[in-house]
Amino acid sequence: RPEIELADLTGFALQTACWGDPGATGLALLDPPPPAALDAARSTLRALGALEDGGVTGRGRALARIGLHPRLARALVDGAPEVGSRAAAEIVALLSEPPPRSAGDDLTATWRGLRRPGRPADAHAARWRDEVRRLRRSAHGGGPVEGPAGDAAPDAWARRGDDAVAGVVVALAFPERVARARRGSGHLMASGTGAVLDAGSALAGARPEWLAIAAADRPSGSASARVRQAVVIDEEVARFAAAPLLETAEEIAWRDGDVTARRVERLGAIELDAAPLRDPDPERMRAALLEGLRAEGLGLLNWTAAATGLRRRLAFLHDALGDPWPAVDDAALLDLVPQWLAGARRRADLKRVDVAAMLRGLLAWDQAKRLDEYAPERVEVPSGSRIRVDYSGERPVLAVKLQELFGWDAAPRLAGGRVPLVVHLLSPAGRPAAVTADLASFWREGYRAVRAELRGRYPRHPWPEDPAQAVPTKRTRRASGS
């Protein structure tokens, strides 16, 4: 693949902006830059103050003249007043070239090793010294470096040691790689990516709370980046160097099974501090409850037996008759739920919603009047029992002991006569003995086989030869003549 499709285009975007062509539209390139990568590069440059209103700024031209990736140029320019031009140049020179294999992941230790007086230990150390000299000249405006002025780190950082000095520069270059230890193991970078130290890491033993990560890679298939070089820092360094990522926001959301309302301070994806909101916006609280219902389901509501039964009856009528009988599937109810949440602020409030009353409120007056006729909750059978109709399946079912239906030639039809009621005829033990939607046909054709099978097993129950003319009963003692 062409390199332009894979490379970091931040430096390229800065150069083209300096040429007066921020979008690189006037260049005769073999391959055009990917729009998404170019947009990301320009976004980085805006954050560095190198671009403004689509054009290059004076700061941007100054960064371009240094001859480094804009991030490193920014670390040099902004780091020099904070830690001294010498230290800033030394750290940036260290960041501008991959470290030798022998270097560990402790960037501060590598820096100390390179600073030792005497001849350079190897080619990497020699190149580093040359680059430091070049960068110091750049930090001084391109002229010769005269004396120690500006070289020393200001007391504010120097007193805190090499880690603080190096950490400021690294974090200025890569603020999104500032990372904080998280529960369990590893760190979380401000970018939102996880980071882990190798088992043999020189830094791991210190169990650092904060890191400024200079270099990392992500092994194939891994969700976290592997730290190659980093500096141990503290929260003060993180807040200072990654200040553009600091934000305080009111967060009202469904979190860990309930609504949380907090004022949260974050450094990118890293949560620094949180405090409960005293007077959260009621509308946002209801929106968070709805978010929870969508995420976890309508089971969070108070589904009493009455509410569940009513919902099934309404679902049956909607399927059988369509509009205007309301749809009560999950999607339809989630659209209606906001009307039910007046005053609700917490998960516990969802259990106080009278779901049955809310469902009845979906019906017009004439529908409410016909509900028990079209989809009765119970049906009275010849024995006098009032049996609950089961609407949970595809067809409504009446499950009743066979002896209670003697003399009944037809079960009522529901939905205004459109849907037959399926009858499950039960044995005296309550087990299904037969299923029919046509009782008269069953008495004529199916009953004889059921009687032959069950009569001997349940002799204390009536098994008349002509059930259509027999007296229905709930009694267990057999009547004479049966």
Q: How many residues does the chain have?
A: 482
CA separation for the pair 5, 3 (Å, rounded): 5
Q: Which of 160, 167, 171, 169 is nearest to 242 (CA)?
A: 171
Distance CA 59, CA 255 (A): 43
For residues 213 and 190, give the distance between their C-alpha atoms in angstroms, rounded to a whole number. Answer: 11
Percentage of residues in the chain having pLDDT higher than 70: 95
Q: Show the tokens assigned to 248.
A: 């305080």
DSSP 80-143: HHHH-HHHHHHHHHHHTSPPPTT--SBHHHHHHHHHSSSS-SSHHHHHHHHHHHHHHHHHTTTS
Exposure string for 317-332, b = 16+ CB within 10 A, e = fewer? bbebbeeebbbbeeee
How far, in Å, CA of 302 to CA of 323, rounded?
26
Q: State the chain's mean pLDDT as an integer.
A: 89
Report the pLDDT value the prediction gives residue 137, as an integer from 0 to 100: 87
Q: Tens digits of per-residue pLDDT, 96-126?
A: 988 777 788 999 999 999 988 888 888 888 9
Four-CA torsion 102, 127, 95, 32, nearest 10 degrees: -110
**What's the pTM value of the predicted model, to 2 decimals?**
0.69
Q: Which pLDDT belongs to residue 387?
A: 94
What pLDDT score does 152 carry? 58
pLDDT (tens digit per residue) in 214-266: 999 888 778 889 999 999 999 999 999 999 899 999 999 998 889 999 999 99
Output the pLDDT for position 367.
93
Flag whether pLDDT at 148 surpasses 90: no
Considering only residues 331 and 479, tell me which one the structure prediction assigns the higher pLDDT: 331
- 3 state DSSP class of 7: coil
Q: What is the mean pLDDT of residues 317-346?
A: 90
Contact 24, 38 (CB under 8 A): yes
Residues 14 and 45: beta-carbon distance below 8 Å = yes
HSE value, Cβ hemisphere, 13 Å, CA-based, for 52: 8
The pLDDT, as a whole number, for residue 204 is 83
Q: Are 104 and 198 in contact (CB under 8 A)?
A: no
